Structure 1
Amino acid sequence: MPLIVESHRLNSATLLRRYGQARVLDVTSRGVEPWIRVSPFYPHGAIPVPFSPGYVGASVEGIWQGLKVFERADVDISKFSVTTMKGLKRSVRANGPVLGHREGVHGTRLLGYLDARYTIYLPTYLWVIEHNLQAEIATLRQLSANETVILLDYETNADVTNLQKPLSHAALIKLYIENLWPNANSSSTSIHQSK
Structure 2
Amino acid sequence: MPIQVAGRRRSAASLAKDFPGALVIDVTSKADEPWVRLSPFYPHGGLPVPSTPGVTSQSVEGVWQALKVFESADVDPAKLGVRTMKGLKRTVRRYGPVRGHRDGLHGDRLLDYQAARRRIYLPTYRWTLENKTGDLVERLRRLADDGDVLLLDYTTNGDVDDLTTPLSHAALVGLHIQGRWPGDDGR
SS in 1 for 2:94: helix
2:161 paired residue number: 161
**Equivalences for residues 18-57 of structure 1 within 5 A:** 18-57=18-57
Partner of 2:145: 145
CA distance, structure 2, for counterparts of residue 177 and residue 149 of structure 1: 12
In the alignment, the residues of structure 1 paired with residue 106 and residue 184 of structure 2 have an alpha-carbon distance, to the nearest angstrom, of 24
Give 5+ residue unaligned stretches, structure 1. 188-195
Q: How does 1:1-195 map to 2 (within 5 A)?
A: 1-183=1-183, 186-187=186-187
d(CA) in 1 for partners of 2:50 and 2:58? 13
Deviations along 1:32-63, one digit per CA (max 9) or x if unpaired, are: 11100000000000100001112100000000
Whether contact under 8 Å (2:68, 2:100) holds in the other structure is: yes
Q: What is the alpha-carbon distance in structure 1 between the residues aligned to residue 69 and residue 165 of structure 2?
A: 19
Amino acid at match of 2:98: V
> CA RMSD of the aligned region, Å?
1.1
Asked whether the 8 Å contact 1:27–1:39 carries over to 2, the reply is yes
Same amino acid, percent of matched pairs: 54
Q: Deviations over 1:130-185 (max 9, x none)?
A: 10111001110111111111100001000000011000000000000010000187
Task: Find the residue that maps to 2:99 and give its secondary structure.
Answer: strand
Contact 1:151-1:170 within 8 A present in 2 as well: yes
Q: 2:2 and 2:52 mapped to 1: Cα distance?
A: 38
Output the CA distance in 2 between the equivalents of 1:150 and 1:105: 36
Query: CA contact under 8 A between 1:45 and 1:58: conserved in structure 2?
Result: yes
Distance 1:125 1:143, change over 3 A: same
Q: Which residue of 2 aligns with 1:191?
A: none
TM-score, length-scaled by structure 1: 0.93
The residue matched to 2:126 in structure 1 has which SS? helix
CA distance in 2, matches of 1:185, 1:10: 32
CA distance 1:87–1:163, change in 2 (3 Å): same
1:16-36 deviations in Å (ceiling 9; x for gaps): 111212211000000011100
Task: Judge conservation of contact 1:2–1:147 (CA < 8 Å) in 2.
Answer: no
* Partner SS state of residue 150, structure 1: strand
For 2:180 and 2:20, how far apart are their aligned partners in 1? 27
SS state at 2:13 partner: helix
Unaligned runs of 5+ in 2: none
Normalised by the length of structure 2, the TM-score is: 0.97
Query: Alpha-carbon deviation of 1:186?
Result: 3.1
Whether the aligned pair in 2 keeps the contact of 1:137 and 1:177 (CA below 8 Å) is yes
